[in-house]
């Protein structure tokens, strides 16, 4: 009998840990509890009911045939359910991603054409690969470069663009326009061409959806219905609008008698296999759009997943979420879909309906697959105005004009970033707008940190606590000045710090010692080290000794590596501000 290696159990444990990490469905599958099954089944069905009209509407928004929205709601959901760490996040087509697809690809090909669809498949593949690489390489941290004001402004501006872009389906005549103001101008100029029947269907659908969302929900709650029943009824409003639209359009043959635009024939069957055709020229042309989709969709998806997981006291793995979202988009590219992400409203409904594990998403995908297999002929007479109404009502809640007011009250610099992003998206376009917002946020950050808050501190009473002399009644000493800098030191702010410290010393001729307090310094770069070296010489020429106090370990390591400590003197390095002041004779 062969001897058993002592390393085998450890190797097996490591392999299992890796397997469970990259295939999270194995975790919930092996621990699945039978009592969770009804909740997951109900949540899957409710989300499917909501996703059927949404996916078709968002495909129309993306300039694609409606069946591609359904295709994008099967294979990507299955992949995410197997690879994702959130049991509540519902992946599929969403409004803003659909707008980004249309904005980025329509300039390269005619929407709905074979060339257009091929480019969309390539875009989905690129989005998936970028997300997958970010997750595998654990580089999701770079997505933090999109700040809340930028995302809030981008979302509100995009929602306006989406809503206005649906006017052509509501009014019943062709409306072009590259930017928002062009679209509005063309819509107003062509009002005489309005198809009144199409307008009635669109406005009626909007009224129905708004009633279910804002009027019926509180009525059902006051009637004492269980929360799950309320969620089921309200989330079924888009499907009800679709059914009513089909019945009316087919009953009166409105496509012929009133020239109402309908969806038309949808090929039955599951999504056909597809291969994204990649050329270097197409990939380069689509790269800005792919990066924009990654930035926006991942930030929103992970934020939603975290929020929903926290309510259940669960945790998600952001890097694995990137892997799962990447896999979902790659699946979309090979199964005739288009870029997908986690939808906020749909995920909330999924959670409220009781989703516990990824099984809910698998059931949703199965429901969409059944529709594709057996029920696509039903949608022939579906008026496009109904789908447009679904989009408008879905995005109208994303326009939040109170958010800039809140941002203004807390930080006017962030409000400025919000304004730049909002205006840039509306005037310059989606991709240019968001990158302008990100750039403005980074410039604002550099400006803020280049002028750090610097405080002269003194002793608070007889304690060992030192506070800003301008905010508290504190004790100071004429021969020592203690200065706290509230920022890490790097190339953009070291000159400002040097000038500020020299000015403080110049204003106090009696000062013999300057103590720089590093409690807020988390990082120091080579430029800052060079500036400190120069500052020490300048202070000594002025008869002032330089001291450091309360320096953090990582910063101290950098100081040691630079040999600056020898120049400062080890007796000039103090563990705390109070220790420095005592060492310099500041006792009473």
DSSP codes joined into one string, 302-363? HHHHHHHHHHTT----HHHHHHHHHHHHHHHHHTT----EE-HHHHHHHHHTT--STHHHHH
pLDDT class of 297 with cuts at 50, 70, 90: confident
Q: Looking at per-residue confidence, does 32 or 384 come out higher?
A: 384
6 within some domain: no
pLDDT at 228 (0 to 100): 77
The range of the structural domain enclosing residue 31 comes to 11-416
Q: What is the pTM of this model?
A: 0.83
pLDDT at 205 (0 to 100): 94
Q: Same structural domain for residues 475 and 399?
A: no
* Beta strand 573-574 pairing with 545-549: parallel
If you average pLDDT over every residue of the chain, what do you get? Answer: 89
Q: Same structural domain for residues 381 and 520?
A: no
111 within some domain: yes
116 within some domain: yes
pLDDT at 518 (0 to 100): 92
Per-residue burial over 530-550, b if 16 or more Cβ lie within 10 Å, else e, is ebbeebbeebeeeebbbbbbb
For 222-278, the DSSP string reads HTT--HHHHHHHHHTHHHHHHHHHHHHHHHTTHHHHS---B------SSPPP-----
The 10s digit of each residue's pLDDT in 488-510 is: 999 999 999 999 999 999 999 99
Please state, in angstroms and as integers, the Cα–Cα distance from residue 271 to each residue in 76, 83, 127, following that order: 11, 21, 20
Q: How many residues does the chain have?
A: 588
pLDDT of 452 > 60? The answer is yes
Residue at which a domain ends, from 355, 387, 416: 416
443 within some domain: no
Average pLDDT in the 141-164 region? 84
Kindly report the CATH number assigned to the domain that includes residue 550: 3.30.750.24
Q: Same structural domain for residues 163 and 62?
A: yes
The 10s digit of each residue's pLDDT in 212-260 is: 888 888 888 888 888 878 888 888 889 899 999 999 999 999 999 999 9
Number of domains, the chain: 2
Please state, in angstroms and as integers, the Cα–Cα distance from residue 148 to each residue in 158, 421, 434, following that order: 15, 11, 12
Q: Same structural domain for residues 500 and 377?
A: no
pLDDT class of 2 with cuts at 50, 70, 90: very low
110 within some domain: yes
pLDDT at 512 (0 to 100): 94
Among residues 333, 325, 323, which one has the least CA distance to residue 304?
A: 325
Q: Same structural domain for residues 386 and 461?
A: no
429 within some domain: no
Average pLDDT in the 276-281 region? 89
**What is the share, in percent, of the chain residues with pLDDT greater than 70?**
97
pLDDT at 373 (0 to 100): 95
Q: Same structural domain for residues 206 and 151?
A: yes
The 10s digit of each residue's pLDDT in 12-65 is: 767 776 777 778 888 888 888 888 888 899 889 989 988 999 999 999 999 999
pLDDT at 7 (0 to 100): 52
pLDDT at 588 (0 to 100): 67
User: What is the C-alpha separation between 53 and 113, in angstroms, rounded?
Assistant: 22
Token code pair at residue 7: 């390393």
pLDDT of 83 > 90? The answer is yes
pLDDT class of 533 with cuts at 50, 70, 90: very high
pLDDT of 140 > 70? The answer is yes
User: What is the C-alpha separation between 257 and 198, in angstroms, rounded?
Assistant: 12
Yes or no: say if 363 and 115 are a contact pair by the CB < 8 Å rule. no
Q: Same structural domain for residues 298 and 368?
A: yes
Lowest mean pLDDT among 385-389, 445-449, 521-525: 445-449
pLDDT of 161 > 80? The answer is yes
pLDDT of 67 > 80? The answer is yes
Token code pair at residue 122: 């390539």
Among residues 520, 532, 538, which one has the least CA distance to residue 566?
A: 532
Average pLDDT in the 268-295 region? 92
332 within some domain: yes
The 10s digit of each residue's pLDDT in 300-337 is: 788 788 777 777 767 788 889 999 999 999 999 999 99
> Where are any strands of DSSP class E within 29-127?
91-92
pLDDT class of 380 with cuts at 50, 70, 90: very high
Lowest mean pLDDT among 180-184, 192-196, 263-267, 545-549: 180-184
pLDDT of 4 > 50? The answer is no
pLDDT class of 284 with cuts at 50, 70, 90: very high
Residue with tokens 């009824």: 233
Q: Same structural domain for residues 499 and 382?
A: no
Residue at which a domain ends, from 416, 442, 470: 416
Q: Same structural domain for residues 371 and 462?
A: no
Lowest mean pLDDT among 220-224, 542-546, 582-586: 220-224
Q: Same structural domain for residues 326 and 401?
A: yes
pLDDT at 368 (0 to 100): 95
């Amino acid at each position: 009998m062969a001897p058993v290696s002592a390393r085998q159990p450890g190797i097996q444990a490591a392999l299992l840990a890796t397997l469970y990490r990259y295939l999270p469905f194995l975790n919930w599958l092996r621990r699945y509890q039978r009592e969770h099954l009804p909740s997951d089944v109900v949540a899957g069905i409710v989300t499917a009911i909501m996703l059927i009209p949404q996916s078709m509407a968002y495909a129309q928004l993306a300039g694609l045939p409606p069946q591609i929205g359904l295709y994008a709601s099967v294979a990507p959901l299955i992949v995410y359910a197997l690879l994702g760490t959130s049991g509540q996040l519902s992946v599929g087509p969403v409004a803003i991603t659909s707008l980004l697809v249309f904005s980025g690809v329509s300039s390269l090909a005619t929407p709905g054409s074979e060339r257009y669809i091929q480019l969309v498949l390539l875009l989905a593949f690129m989005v998936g690969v970028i997300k997958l690489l970010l997750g595998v390489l654990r580089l999701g941290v770079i997505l933090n470069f999109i700040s809340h004001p930028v995302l809030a402004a981008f979302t509100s501006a995009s929602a306006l663009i989406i809503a206005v872009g649906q006017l052509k389906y509501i009014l019943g005549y062709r409306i072009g326009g590259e930017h928002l103001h062009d679209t509005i101008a063309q819509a107003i100029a062509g009002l005489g061409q309005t198809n009144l029947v199409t307008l009635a269907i669109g406005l009626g659908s909007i009224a129905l959806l708004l009633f279910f969302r804002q009027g019926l929900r509180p009525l059902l709650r006051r009637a004492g219905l269980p929360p799950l029943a309320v969620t089921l009824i309200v989330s079924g409003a888009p499907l009800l609008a679709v059914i009513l639209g089909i019945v009316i359009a087919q009953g009166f043959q409105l496509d012929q008698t009133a020239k109402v635009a309908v969806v038309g024939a949808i090929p039955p069957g599951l999504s056909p296999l597809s291969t994204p055709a990649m050329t270097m020229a197409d990939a380069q042309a689509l790269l800005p759009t792919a990066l924009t989709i990654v930035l926006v969709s991942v930030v929103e998806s992970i934020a939603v997943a975290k929020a929903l997981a926290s309510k259940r006291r669960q945790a998600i793995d952001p890097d694995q979420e990137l892997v799962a979202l990447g896999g979902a988009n790659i699946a979309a590219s090979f199964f005739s879909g288009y870029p997908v992400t986690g939808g906020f409203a749909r995920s909330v409904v999924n959670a409220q309906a009781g989703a516990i594990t990824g099984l809910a998403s698998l059931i949703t995908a199965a429901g969409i697959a059944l529709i594709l297999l057996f029920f696509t002929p039903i949608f022939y007479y579906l008026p496009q105005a109904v789908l447009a109404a679904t989009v408008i009502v879905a995005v109208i809640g994303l326009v939040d004009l109170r958010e800039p007011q809140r941002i203004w009250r807390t930080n006017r610099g962030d409000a400025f970033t919000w304004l730049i992003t909002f205006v840039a998206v509306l005037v310059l376009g989606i991709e240019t707008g968001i990158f302008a917002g990100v750039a403005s946020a980074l410039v604002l950050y550099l400006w803020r940190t280049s002028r750090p808050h610097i405080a002269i501190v003194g002793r608070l009473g007889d304690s060992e606590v030192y506070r800003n002399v301008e905010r508290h009644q504190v004790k100071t000493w004429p021969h020592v000045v203690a200065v706290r800098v509230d920022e890490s030191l790097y190339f953009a702010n070291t000159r400002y710090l040097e000038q500020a410290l020299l000015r403080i010393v110049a204003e106090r001729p009696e000062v013999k010692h300057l103590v720089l307090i590093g409690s807020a310094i988390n990082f120091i770069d080579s430029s800052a080290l060079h500036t400190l070296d120069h500052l020490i010489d300048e202070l000594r020429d002025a008869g002032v000794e330089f001291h450091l106090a309360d320096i953090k370990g990582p910063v101290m390591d950098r100081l040691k590596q630079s040999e600056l400590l020898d120049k400062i003197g080890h007796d000039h390095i103090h563990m705390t501000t109070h220790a420095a002041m005592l060492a310099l004779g500041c006792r009473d």
